[in-house]
């Protein structure tokens, strides 16, 4: 390599997910050849984000303030609380649905083998939140995986302890898909829970 700094940059780029040696090379050359200003902007944005972005004290999502804009907003419905595993899940729901309630981000899922229990997911704070008595519906939107389902079950029990109604997203055949390519579990579930046509 013609420059140790270039080598360092390529090495540092590999911290990004899905970026191997070749992609990192291509990125480094691209930035140096055509996007020096953009590269400087990225360096600044990264440094500031890593330093300033923490977690919202209410919902545990990423936030640079003590309380994130969503939790601080007066226009959200405080009676609905949606529990998700990650900030990316929260963003997906926010972008796809018209949901106007609040969120609670677990930042993970129950996984005893990895040492992730109720404490790591901040479930004591969820207890306290539900004890406040404002929430009437807890929408449990963890992923439909084994660990996500176990987490959902656990969170649902917490809700019932506080007389809050837990709900769960419907499983079924995705819109726009073809039955031929739907996995067996989903198809079997959708078939079994079929409803009468209106």
Q: Which residues contact 50 (CB under 8 A, 6 or more apart)?
A: none
Strand extents, DSSP E, the chain: 54-55, 62-63, 77-84, 101-105, 137-140, 165-168
Binder among 57, 88, 128, 131 for a second copy (CB under 8 A): 88
Interface mask toward a second copy for 6-25; x: CB under 8 A: x-xx-xxx-xxxx----x-x
Which one of residues 66, 81, 83, 86 is an interface residue with a second copy (CB under 8 A)? 86
Residues in 105-124 that interact with a second copy by CB under 8 A: 107
CA dihedral 4, 5, 9, 10 (to 10 degrees): -30
* Binding characters for a second copy, 30-49, by CB under 8 A (x = yes): xxxx-xx-xxxxxxxxxxxx
Among 75, 91, 116, 161, binds a second copy (CB under 8 A): 91
- x/- track of binding to a second copy for residues 158-177 (CB under 8 A): --------------------
Measured between alpha carbons, how far is 193 from 19 in angstroms, rounded to an integer? 42
Q: Is 66 in the site for a second copy (CB under 8 A)?
A: no
> Does the protein bind a second copy through residue 83 (CB under 8 A)?
no
Phi, psi dihedral angles at 117 (to 5 degrees): -110, -170
Examine residue 56 and tell whether it contacts a second copy (CB under 8 A).
yes
- 44-50 CB contacts, 8 Å cutoff, 24+ apart: none
Strand runs (DSSP E) across 11-127, as ranges?
Answer: 54-55, 62-63, 77-84, 101-105
CB of 54 to a second copy, least distance (A): 9
User: Residues interacting with a second copy, by CB under 8 A?
Assistant: 1-6, 8-9, 11-13, 15-18, 23, 25-33, 35-36, 38-53, 56, 61-65, 68-70, 86-88, 90-91, 107
């Amino acid at each position: 390599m013609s420059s140790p700094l270039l080598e360092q940059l390529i090495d540092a780029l590999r911290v990004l997910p899905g970026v191997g040696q070749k992609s990192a090379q291509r990125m480094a050359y691209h930035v140096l050849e055509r996007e020096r200003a953009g590269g400087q902007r990225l360096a600044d944005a990264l440094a500031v984000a890593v330093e300033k972005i923490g977690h919202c004290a209410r919902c545990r999502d990423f936030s640079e303030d003590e309380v994130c804009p969503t939790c601080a907003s007066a226009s959200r419905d405080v009676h609905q609380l949606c529990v998700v595993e990650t900030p990316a899940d929260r963003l997906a729901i926010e972008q796809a649905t018209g949901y106007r309630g609040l969120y609670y981000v677990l930042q993970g899922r129950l996984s005893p083998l990895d040492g992730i229990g109720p404490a790591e997911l901040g479930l004591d704070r969820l207890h306290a939140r539900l004890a406040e008595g404002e929430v009437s519906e807890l929408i449990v939107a963890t992923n439909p995986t084994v660990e996500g389902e176990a987490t959902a079950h656990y969170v649902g029990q917490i809700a019932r302890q506080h007389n809050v109604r837990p709900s769960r997203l419907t499983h079924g055949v995705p819109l726009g898909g073809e039955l031929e390519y739907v996995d067996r579990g989903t198809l079997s579930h959708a078939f079994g829970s079929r409803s009468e046509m209106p």
